Structure 1
Amino acid sequence: MSAMQHADVETLFDPATNTATHIVSDPATGMAAIIDPVLDYEPKGAVVSHGSARQLLDRLDQRGLTLQWLLETHVHADHLSAGDWLRRQTGVPLVIGAGVTRVISVFAPMFGADDVSLAGAAFDRLVHDGDTLPLGDLTITVMDTHGHTPACVTYLVADAAFVGDTLFMPDYGTARCDFPGGDAAVLHASIQRLLGLPPQTRLFTGHDYLPAGRTTYAFESSVAAQRAGNVHVHDGISAADFIAMRTDRDKTLAPPTLILPALQVNIRAGALPPPDPQGRLFLKLPLTVL
């Protein structure tokens, strides 16, 4: 059996949102993709800035890499995406799972986002399970891993899989499933697909939250490590037990801090809402009146 191809991976961490943005590249050609970039947003002053995104471009330049793709693993509820800003800076296409249309159909009406295409036209390419994208001499293979949200996909590049929020580090567990379109049974099936990859496959998560007992942030595990030690879904945990645990746990979770600004930006592929006639930009705050 031939050895697995290898992908180079560099991770940049945003402590404000606990988000890991990954740069994956082909060592032979220097072609690269950015996965889940962060648009900086200071919520108290509603200030948008691009320092994290500029840092990604600086790293590409410093390493002599050529950006080929911008990849989103799903529509994020915990940070704003810099996908659109990076696309405008580089001309590189922005990709997301085709399930994004289900997410948009829920949240565009919630925010009165009449400018948003329900067909996902804000993104350049909607991908399905089994689709492939070239990355130099390597291939990006799309795996449908929804369950956390309907748009969730994993990007498999040689020996590396970028799982978004589907799995976290083994000592933290798995994604919540209580957002619209989320489903614990579907998430369990998606995780089993990931755990069926070769044991040495590297798994790169989209966040880390420093569970008790660990003092250093981490974003890389392996299929073998997840199967042996994931606190929610290691080998021996039945689907029924996982679904019961996940459902009960999700009932205790508060919404992410940035969910309202993040969703209305991210259904637009990271673009801000269109300005009003005076050129002013606004985010909307839907109210729940009890």
Structure 2
Amino acid sequence: MDILKKEKILEIIYWCIGIILFVFIIKNYFRPFILIVILFFLGNPINKFLREKIKYKEVCAGITILLINIVVVIGIIYIWSNFYSFISTVIGSNINQIKEIFIEIENGIEKIIGNINIIDSAKKILNFNYLKVGAINTGEGLLSYFIGNICTFFILADKDEIKEVVKKIMPDKVEKRVNRIIYNSRNIIKIQILLVLISTIIIIIGFKILRVENCVTLGIVCGILDILPYVGTIIVFIPIIIYNIIVKNYLIAFGLVCLYLLIQIIREILEAKLVSDKFNMHPLLSLLSLYIGVKVFGFIGIFIGPIFCMTLVDIISEN
């Protein structure tokens, strides 16, 4: 084995260990990282534009963060109000049918496992410990969001200085590799945004054809959730399918099942194709990198899997 091959193998091992440790630290000790990346990706173009008009970099960064948060809050309020109105209308107009379904389910469960009181069981589940865990998770989520915003503010304000410090610390070869990883990461984020937009448009059109109420709001919610592996859009689809079964709209329920399957197939094919075309990877390799990344790393594996694979391909293909 020649020296070049040995160097490549060692570099692959180093980067594999480095990426795995990086993901482990993010998942367990620095959860705001993903939020920081998203906020920076969204805010950087706005910040660049403002810097051409305003000379104070801190002011530009502050306005950028404020604008993003205003849009997020307005979006959440709009989506939640419409979604809540839809759920209230559905339950209010079909309360009797829903009660009958729950009674049938309870009777069916009793036949299988004996007498059971669903309300008492629910009270046992929703005990203090569950509420305590929920409160802790909510508190941690709010703290992570606050820290993510503060960190993004400083990165936007001092990104040039941060780049200079990193250049001085990092060896040239490592810096080159990191810049390549950052470039690949940006393209992966762009691909995911494009896939979310495509899924959202298809879902809204599908809901419109199937005459689902509040099709735009529900389509946007599905589009946002589409980025989550496995659960994603099914969180919205299952209640709507069940509702249509309750009101005996079996054709619409079947159509929703077909729409869900269509979305999943289109997304998988497009994701593999876009990643393979953008990074000169075989579609099978890109599909496997996505699947294994999600299996190993969870949600963050959507990005880490392809980046991990692309880094290895870059190292191997170098002369």
Determine which structure has more spread, i.e. the larger CA radius of gyration.
2
State the TM-score, normalizing by the size of structure 2. Answer: 0.23
Specify which structure has the higher proportion of strand: 1
